[in-house]
Amino acid sequence: MSSPLPNLSDAPRPVLVGFSGGLDSTVLLHWLAQSAAQRDAGVRAVHVHHGLQPAADAWAQHCQAICTAWNIDLQVIGVDVARDSGHGLEAAARHARRDAFTSALRPGEQLALAHHRDDQAETFLLRALRGSGVDGLAAIRSEAPFATGTVWRPLLQVPRAALLAYAQSQALHWVDDPSNASDEADRNFLRLHVLPLLQQRWPQADAAFARSAALCAQAQQLLDVSDQDALRRCSLAPGVLDGTRLLRLPRERRARLLRQWVRNCGLPPLPAAGVDAIERDLLPAAHDADAQFAWQGARIRRWRSELHLLSATLALPPHWSVHWDGRAPLALPDGGQLELLGAKQLATPLQVSARRGGERIQLPGRAHSHALKDLLQQRGLPPWQRRQLPLLFDGAVLMAAGDRVIAAPLQHWLDEHHAQLRWTPGAA
């Protein structure tokens, strides 16, 4: 009897198998362990101990017994699932698993997960019910970037019935999670009630949904190539877009590009409300406006004709102050840094502190002082970076504002010593 599972790659890579002890992951681990080539490449397993069920300890022991019998290294990772995250217990457990997998994955390994065709159909339906576009309807990928490597789902085209048949033919033993019998979770409701009803009328409904997900994935790949090209044309610097160029694109393209921009920077997905706010409030804002949209610790701000993507709102503490002689880079409270380049140290230590407002500075070649606020506006420093700007004082005299504005006496000394200041603002 031929196996219902696909053939392994001719050149397998080391794998870390997410092993819950349930039917799906037991089949995946057994299938991989039967391959001599995969054994040579490397097979390990990781079990995430959520502690959400009374039998959680017994499940971990079961997984250890299986791996011992099959001569496979198993790592058991205990996690604390946040019950008050606001995203629901299922989502919190999923995030905890992801973090555990990330910590366990070694360089060069790929994470192997046991998602199958029924999971793909359920995910497609869930995304459709939430009104997802082509990106969401692409559902689960057979291979995708994960942490520093990739996640691999070799069973994605295999129906769960085939996994059950394989397990029975191999006399495998697995554990059953009693929560799977509850229809409180949306995915379980689809699995227990909706898909069986659909399959009464359309027996291949799960295969059809999985096929639609695959077609959406193909369409998304084509769109992604075009998005990345448009993103390069609109980018001025990492995390900065040219609003004028962005407005030349169709609105639908802008929405995709904005989501891709945020995704590339590793920040939480930009919600639909964020796309609407950018279209309504940020892109048409006046040249001197400081319009912004914030979500989940991330922020997009309009400054002049640019959009800036920030992971936090940063500022130096208002009463922070230290002495600095320039011998070593000065670490700033916001994660930034101040350095003296080209000289061993300053002529005299300077006091470094945060802006408090009302400062004035005398520029080279000028007989009178200027308001620092006006100079920073003229030089185009965004408002949020002005709150991060370290000021250097010699007594009560302002000698420099980072490396953006430097007073005549300090500039003269820097020129004499072929030196310069370099300020790197914090970015996270």
Residue 5's pLDDT is: 82
Residue 312's pLDDT is: 66
Question: What does the mean pLDDT of the chain come to?
Answer: 90
- Within a 10 A sphere around the Cβ of 389, how many other Cβ atoms? 23
Residue range 147-170, pLDDT digits in tens: 888 999 999 999 999 999 999 999
Kindly tell me if the per-residue pLDDT of 311 is higher than 80.
Answer: no
Measure CA of the first residue to CA of the last residue in the chain; give whole Å. Answer: 57
290 closest CA partner among 318, 313, 257, 272 = 313
Average pLDDT, integer, range 121-138: 91
Higher pLDDT, 353 or 83: 353
Residue range 66-77, pLDDT digits in tens: 999 999 999 999
Greatest alpha-carbon span in the chain: 94
Residue range 30-68, pLDDT digits in tens: 999 999 999 999 999 999 998 778 888 999 999 999 999
Pairing of strands 360-361, 370-371: antiparallel
Kindly tell me if the per-residue pLDDT of 405 is higher than 80.
Answer: yes
Residue range 267-284, pLDDT digits in tens: 888 988 999 999 999 999
**What is the spatial distance between Cα 418 and Cα 182, in angstroms, rounded to a whole number?**
72
CB 50 within 8 A of CB 83: no
Kindly tell me if the per-residue pLDDT of 291 is higher than 80.
Answer: yes
Band of residue 382 on the pLDDT scale cut at 50, 70, 90: confident
* pTM to 2 decimal places: 0.67
Residue 183's pLDDT is: 87
Residue 2's pLDDT is: 53
Residue 83's pLDDT is: 67
**What is the spatial distance between Cα 341 and Cα 310, in angstroms, rounded to a whole number?**
28
- Within a 10 A sphere around the Cβ of 165, how many other Cβ atoms? 15
Average pLDDT, integer, range 357-386: 89
Residue 1's pLDDT is: 44
Q: What angle do CA 52, 153, 93 make, to 5 degrees?
A: 20
393 closest CA partner among 341, 340, 321, 328 = 321
Residue range 323-362, pLDDT digits in tens: 999 999 999 998 889 999 999 999 999 999 999 889 999 9
Length of the chain: 428
Band of residue 116 on the pLDDT scale cut at 50, 70, 90: very high
